[in-house]
């Protein structure tokens, strides 16, 4: 799970990149072990968003990161300007 504060004026581009059918999801779908991503907006802070990426396991995500390291890093750098800040809240098992 990640939390993002989106830069003023970058909301549309952020939604395109982080939505369930966005740029990140298209990259993640290269793995059959990617289950989906949910994007939610804070009610209290309209420029604050949360993503929850679902994978079959932590190992599946880590394997994906290793296999697609270059694509992941390139996209991360490309989209960094859309946010004021971001932070990883944590990983949570589905059990």
The residue extents of the domains of the chain are 2-88
Which tens digits make up the pLDDT trace of 32-60? 999 999 999 999 999 999 999 999 999 99
Mean predicted lDDT score pLDDT of the chain: 95
Transcribe the chain into DSSP letters: -EEEEEPTT-HHHHHHHHSTTSHHHHHHTTSTTEEEEEEEE-SS-TTEEEEEEEES-HHHHHHHHHHTHHHHHHHHHHHGGGEEEEEE-------
Q: What's the pTM value of the predicted model, to 2 decimals?
A: 0.88
CA pair distance 89, 95, nearest whole angstrom = 18
Q: pLDDT at position 92, please? A: 77
Q: pLDDT at position 9, please? A: 95
CA pair distance 59, 8, nearest whole angstrom = 36
Which tens digits make up the pLDDT trace of 62-84? 999 999 999 999 999 999 999 99
Q: pLDDT at position 28, please? A: 97
- pLDDT band at residue 94 under the 50/70/90 scheme: low
Architecture of the CATH domain 2-88: 2-Layer Sandwich (3.30)
């Amino acid at each position: 799970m990640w939390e993002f504060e989106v830069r003023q004026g970058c909301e549309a581009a952020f939604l395109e990149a982080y939505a369930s059918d966005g740029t990140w999801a298209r990259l993640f779908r290269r793995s059959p072990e990617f289950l989906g991503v949910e994007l939610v907006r804070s009610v209290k802070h309209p420029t604050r968003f949360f993503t929850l990426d679902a994978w079959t396991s932590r190992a599946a995500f880590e394997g994906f990161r290793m296999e697609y390291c270059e694509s992941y890093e390139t996209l991360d750098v490309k989209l960094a300007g859309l946010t004021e800040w971001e932070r990883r809240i944590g990983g949570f098992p589905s059990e």
